[in-house]
Structure 1
């Protein structure tokens, strides 16, 4: 079975090498940047005994307050079973608790505990020097510029968040 795709003079294949003109290049570079940042943040979290998936949930809980599990799954890009495992881990560690949602007997809201807040703060302290390594090769002002560009890319002002 072959695709009905017009074959134009393709001179380049998608890579994530600097300077690649492929239409996939931006996504591939973002993926590589994510892997690099995730490796550094994993290193920061390891001594605290949690993984990035746990910290992602803590970020949502600090930002939004008590959050139902289905919304945690959506906010972290996880599936229902995955988010349940993460919340189970956080509960076992005393970092979060599930509470009943008034008016909905089936739903449970997840809330960060004081211990979770302490760990959240400790993670930021641990990550600071490692995060500085990520941007060490940048010129003055480039880190702020990169942050601004990625923020505008990830959160376009004219796009409704519900359409993503």
Structure 2
């Protein structure tokens, strides 16, 4: 078996261990951070009877107001079928409603209900201590620094936030 690396050097292999310097290290660290944050936020939402996918749609509706389903799919990284299932769930729970868009009966807009707004606000209160636990090991100002760095990473100049 031949090696593509010069004798005496080892190829950098991606791991998710701290200190990995492979080209994949940042992506792997972000994946681990996402899983950790998603696990914590899932625990905050569970007693409220919703999942992160539901909360993601409520977040968009709070931010943008009534939004057509295809734009919800784009905003949440979902596909058409997935967003329809989430909106179906939200409607069953009384947290959102679909409305016809004037001029195009095929397009449906989704709007948050007062119960949806109330649940959204309750979720934030429930998530606060858990969110604080995510950054408890960081020093003074580091949580804000992390948020700033991740925001600039996720939304580089010239992209729409």
Considering the TM-score relative to the shorter chain, is it more than 0.5?
A: yes
Show the 5 A alignment for 1:10-159: 11-157=11-157, 159=158
**Cα distance in 2 for residues equivalent to 1:38 and 1:63:** 20
**Cα distance in 2 for residues equivalent to 1:91 and 1:140:** 42
SS of residue in 1 equivalent to 2:38: helix
**Cα distance in 2 for residues equivalent to 1:118 and 1:90:** 13
**Cα distance in 2 for residues equivalent to 1:121 and 1:31:** 27
- Output one character per residue of 1:40-96: Cα deviation in whole Å (capped at 9) or x when no partner: 000000000000000000000000000000000010010111100000000000000
**RMSD in angstroms over aligned alpha carbons?**
1.5
How many residue pairs end up in the alignment? 156
SS of residue in 1 equivalent to 2:12: coil
**Cα distance in 2 for residues equivalent to 1:21 and 1:79:** 34
- How far off its partner does 1:8 sit? 4.2
**Cα distance in 2 for residues equivalent to 1:66 and 1:82:** 18
**Cα distance in 2 for residues equivalent to 1:161 and 1:119:** 27
